[in-house]
């Protein structure tokens, strides 16, 4: 199940949190050391914890990534699953934050185009190397990888 905006428009923090809550998860955004998806025991709601002390793009990435776990996994199951699960959550998040509609409208799929799209929609990303640019580059590479794997 995907939200109506997935692949069509750039989601806001509210869009992402509302989608997670529609799936029965509790979303908490607070001053925390790290983001975390906690599946919860049987019969209890899963919890998504997101640190608030980072900028908009980092917060949205973390929230979308943890929602990727919610949508695709029921919790950690060992090291091999962890690696595969992290990659799946990254792909879900990158596709959420850089919708296919952006690619279709502009007929442009490149790292630089995706970074520019993230900058235009979420937070000004400086042209120099910095943590924000590194994150945007990572998101863009994951999204481009998803696009290329679907075209093969």
d(CA 81, CA 88): 10
Residue 152, pLDDT > 60, answer no
Q: Is 5 inside a domain boundary?
A: no
Residue 92 tokens read as 């879900």
- State the CB neighbour count (10 A cutoff) for residue 111: 14
Query: Is residue 1 assigned to a domain?
Result: no
- Total domains, the chain: 1
Q: Of 64, 45, 53, 40, which is closest to residue 138 (Cα–Cα)? A: 64
pTM confidence score: 0.88
pLDDT at residue 79, as a whole number: 45
pLDDT (tens digit, 9 = 90+) per residue, 12-25? 999 999 999 999 99
Mean pLDDT of the residues in the chain = 88
Task: Give domain status of residue 147, yes or no.
Answer: yes
80 three-class SS = helix
Residue 34 domain flag: yes
Q: How far apart are CA 83 and CA 115, in angstroms?
A: 25
Ramachandran region, residue 3 (left: φ > 0; alpha: ψ -120 to 50; beta: rest):
beta
Query: Does residue 7 lie within any of the structural domains?
Result: no
Residues 6+ apart with CB under 8 A from 141: 111
Is residue 125 one of the residues assigned to a domain?
yes
**pLDDT digit string (tens) for 55-101?**
999 999 999 999 999 998 754 454 444 567 899 999 999 999 999 87
Q: What is the pLDDT of residue 1?
A: 77
Mean predicted confidence (pLDDT) in 131-143: 96
Residue 4 forms part of a structural domain: no
Q: Is residue 43 part of a domain?
A: yes
Res. 149: pLDDT tops 70: yes
The average pLDDT across 132-152 equals 88
Exposure string over 9-18, b if 16+ CB within 10 A, otherwise e: ebbebebbbe
* Range of the structural domain that residue 66 is part of: 13-151
pLDDT at residue 27 tops 70? yes
What pLDDT shows up at residue 78? 43
Of 28-32, 126-130, 135-139, highest mean pLDDT = 135-139
Percent of the chain with pLDDT over 90: 66
Res 106: pLDDT: 65
């Amino acid at each position: 199940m995907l939200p109506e905006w997935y692949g069509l428009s750039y989601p806001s923090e509210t869009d992402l949190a509302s989608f997670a809550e529609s799936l029965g998860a509790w979303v908490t955004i607070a001053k925390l050391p790290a983001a975390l998806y906690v599946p919860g025991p049987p019969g209890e709601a899963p919890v998504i914890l997101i640190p608030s002390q980072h900028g908009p793009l980092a917060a949205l990435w973390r929230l979308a990534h943890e929602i990727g776990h919610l949508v695709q996994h029921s919790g950690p199951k060992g090291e091999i699953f962890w690696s595969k699960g992290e990659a799946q959550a990254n792909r879900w998040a990158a596709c959420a934050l850089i919708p296919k509609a952006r690619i279709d409208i502009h007929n442009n799929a490149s790292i630089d185009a995706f970074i520019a799209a993230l900058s235009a929609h979420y937070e000004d990303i400086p042209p120099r190397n910095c943590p924000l640019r590194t994150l945007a580059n990572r998101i863009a590479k994951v999204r481009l990888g998803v696009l290329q794997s679907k075209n093969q």
